[in-house]
Structure 1
Amino acid sequence: MLPPILQNLRIPVVGSPMFIVSNPDLVIAQCKAGIVGSFPALNAREKDGEPIQLEAWLTRITEELDRHNQANPDRPAAPFAVNQIVHRSNARLDRDIEICHRHKVPIWITSLGARTEVNAAAHDCGGITLHDIINNSFARKAVEKGADGIIAVAAGAGGHAGPQSPFALVQEIREWFDGPLLLSGAIATGRAVLAAQAMGADLAYIGSPFIATTEANAQPDYKQMIVDSGAMDIVTSSLFTGVSGNYLAPSIRNAGLDPEALAHADPSTMNFNDLSAKPKAWSTIWGCGQGIGAVHEIVPAAQLIDRLAGEYDAARRAIVGL
């Protein structure tokens, strides 16, 4: 059974936290439109001596959603989430945990390592934790260390995608886990959201389509490349971060590389101390999942969510009518 905080969404969708791309504008728009919005804590950056950006972002998001709820009691905003990169190289982790705890962040998403102390901090301030994994073994470890829910990152997802079919991954997790289960991987339509539920997931975890929204912090060329590309334009490589991920082939070609002949990288090269998930040399190589064939224009996030909701409702009616 889903925890109460995830039960009253407009559609069963969590907007995934995307490096650089996810910002307060996008999170607020997603939440107001009825889905969980999220951002990586590491996206909130400041120079030495400047006020802490994570504090400012959390204050703004909380206050704007509170104002929305007061003005719209019949359609309150969905909750928001903050993604913590729980990797040993993330020197900001302890500071960011303290800030999120103090601001009582309702949903914590953890990545690249399961840590009991992070789950404990979330629970202590009344929040829940969702941990992203790429296989059943990691899912078990996450739950053993106190995660409330699992995000199954299957083949075709943007960012650090897993190698397994969503059918295989979800069915293995559901053999032993009856808690909150989210599915990530090429979900870009309302029909796909319903398919994720039919497969055994509770919610869909959607990222790449939101890159092509007006609120997203992405370069115009990046957004247009999402619109112009499809599944065949996505390549998988470990070169850029040290961990296997999915990227837009045209952006790789624009960087002077051959997407069909990329070298492999050692996972030990991943480093978050510089607040970057990839070296600056690769800043114009853009991550993306395989579902973008359904994205045909750059629109406000609310319009994209309207489309997803309409497709989801139509698909439910069609299945019931069979």
Structure 2
Amino acid sequence: MTMPAMFDNLRLPMIGSPLFIISNPDLVIAQCKAGIVGAFPALNAREKEGEPIELERWLTRITEELDRHNQANPDTPAAPYAVNQIVHRSNARLERDVEICAKYNVPVWITSLGAQEWVNEAAHGCGGISLHDVINNRFARKAIEKGADGLIAVAAGAGGHAGALSPFALVQEIRTWFDGPLFLSGAIARGDSILAAQAMGADGGYVGSAFIATEEANADAAYKQMIVDHGANDIVYSDLFTGVWGNYLKPSIAKAGMDPDNLERSDPSNMDFGEDRQKPKSWKEIWGSGQGIGAVGDVLPAAELVNRLEREYRAAWNRLQSAVKPA
């Protein structure tokens, strides 16, 4: 299996997944300085009409701060960062945001909800790589055919928009034909799980929900505490809120006056990622989360979370070395 050289010096084989609304420059910079890939959705950077483009301000800050860190710490440079592009017809900003990311030489591009050759070409044109998130083997093949360099396998239990397949099934099917970069998403909130992802054939883990409960995350304090206080049984899988199947915290749905165990189905044609989309006010605080949050016990700085994940990863490796009999 081949991995891009830019991932050679990662402290842990993992990407901090781009969290809608939540991922911001503070979180991304902290993740990258801690030695893992930090990521944010381009659509998180928003400005009012007539104001300077926020995405450019974010990219300027991230690149300059990581450059300063690398100059001051040549032996422990920051990991590369990633920008997530929603490749869906309702995203009116896509062309503009792709152009801006190319201008700033974004190193890692993560594409979602549509694989487009021209987006991958833009990534390659500025020296970047493109990773496409997929929920099944058919979408994985399409993404690679259209020029993606690697894949993010979004399995059952992942936070936000998620698939329904077992991670074992999804990774093994992709690995029958693809030997490039492959990261696994789905209830990964401990270092043990990152090592397990590698054991089943992925190159690393894609960790999202655990980072909601970090000090840098742009999330309501009640949201962070709900992540800390709940576990896998408190997650519901629904397509009601965006038109795409995803995982959400049951208590947040109940607080909005709905029965989380009896939600209506949505029409996928209503899927809308435009900036002017309207949602019922009662949905404002319906919060996404993956099934792995039972491992989250405190709200911590992002660097401390990475420290914990690394300790668990090393401990799991040592435990397996003594438990697995050599051939």
Query: Shorter chain as normaliser: what TM range?
Result: over 0.9
The alpha-carbon deviation at position 318 of structure 1 amounts to: 1.2
Amino acid at match of 1:156: G
Scaled by the length of structure 1, the TM-score of the pair is: 0.99
Q: Which residue of 2 aligns with 1:119?
A: 120
User: Are the equivalent residues in 1 in contact too, given 2:161–2:245 (CA < 8 A)?
Assistant: yes
2:267 is equivalent to residue 266 of structure 1: yes
User: Are the equivalent residues in 2 in contact too, given 1:41–1:83 (CA < 8 A)?
Assistant: yes
Q: Deviations over 1:50-105 (max 9, x none)?
A: 00000000000000000000111111000000000000110000000000000000
> Secondary structure of the equivalent of 2:160?
coil
> Secondary structure of the equivalent of 2:184?
strand
Q: What is the CA–CA distance in structure 1 between the aligned matches of 2:10 and 2:41, rounded to whole Å? A: 21
More deviation, 4-13/193-202:
4-13
Unmatched 5+ stretches in structure 2: none
Q: Which residue of 2 aligns with 1:28?
A: 29
Q: What is the CA–CA distance in structure 2 between the aligned matches of 1:5 and 1:279, rounded to whole Å? A: 42
Q: Which residue of 2 aligns with 1:174?
A: 175
Amino acid at match of 2:311: G
Amino acid at match of 2:108: I
> Secondary structure of the equivalent of 2:84?
strand
Q: What is the CA–CA distance in structure 2 between the aligned matches of 1:7 and 1:104, rounded to whole Å? A: 19
Q: What is the CA–CA distance in structure 2 between the aligned matches of 1:280 and 1:2, rounded to whole Å? A: 44
Q: Which residue of 2 aligns with 1:237?
A: 238
The alpha-carbon deviation at position 313 of structure 1 amounts to: 0.8
The alpha-carbon deviation at position 166 of structure 1 amounts to: 0.2
Spell out the pairing of 1:81-120 with structure 2 (5 A cutoff). Answer: 81-120=82-121
2:16 is equivalent to residue 3 of structure 1: no
2:283 is equivalent to residue 282 of structure 1: yes
Q: Which residue of 2 aligns with 1:226?
A: 227
> Secondary structure of the equivalent of 1:298?
coil
Distance 1:305 1:277, change over 3 A: farther
Q: Which residue of 2 aligns with 1:310?
A: 311
RMSD across aligned positions (CA): 1.0
Q: What is the CA–CA distance in structure 2 between the aligned matches of 1:189 and 1:160, rounded to whole Å? A: 20
Scaled by the length of structure 2, the TM-score of the pair is: 0.97
Distance 1:119 1:189, change over 3 A: same
Q: What is the CA–CA distance in structure 2 between the aligned matches of 1:278 and 1:141, rounded to whole Å? A: 31
Q: Deviations over 1:201-231 (max 9, x none)?
A: 0010000000000000000000000000000
User: Are the equivalent residues in 1 in contact too, given 2:256–2:282 (CA < 8 A)?
Assistant: no
Q: Which residue of 2 aligns with 1:320?
A: 321
The alpha-carbon deviation at position 272 of structure 1 amounts to: 1.4
Amino acid at match of 2:168: F
> Secondary structure of the equivalent of 1:84?
strand
User: Are the equivalent residues in 2 in contact too, given 1:240–1:279 (CA < 8 A)?
Assistant: no
User: Are the equivalent residues in 2 in contact too, given 1:190–1:310 (CA < 8 A)?
Assistant: yes
User: Are the equivalent residues in 2 in contact too, given 1:255–1:284 (CA < 8 A)?
Assistant: yes
The alpha-carbon deviation at position 6 of structure 1 amounts to: 1.5
The alpha-carbon deviation at position 282 of structure 1 amounts to: 1.3
> Secondary structure of the equivalent of 1:163?
coil
Q: What is the CA–CA distance in structure 1 between the aligned matches of 2:276 and 2:293, rounded to whole Å? A: 27
Q: What is the CA–CA distance in structure 1 between the aligned matches of 2:270 and 2:39, rounded to whole Å? A: 26
Q: Identity over the aligned pairs, expressed in percent?
A: 71
Spell out the pairing of 1:12-27 with structure 2 (5 A cutoff). Answer: 12-27=13-28
Q: Which residue of 1 aligns with 2:163?
A: 162
Amino acid at match of 1:230: G
Q: Deviations over 1:100-124 (max 9, x none)?
A: 0000000000000000000000000
The alpha-carbon deviation at position 319 of structure 1 amounts to: 1.1
Q: Which residue of 2 aligns with 1:64?
A: 65
Q: Which residue of 2 aligns with 1:45?
A: 46
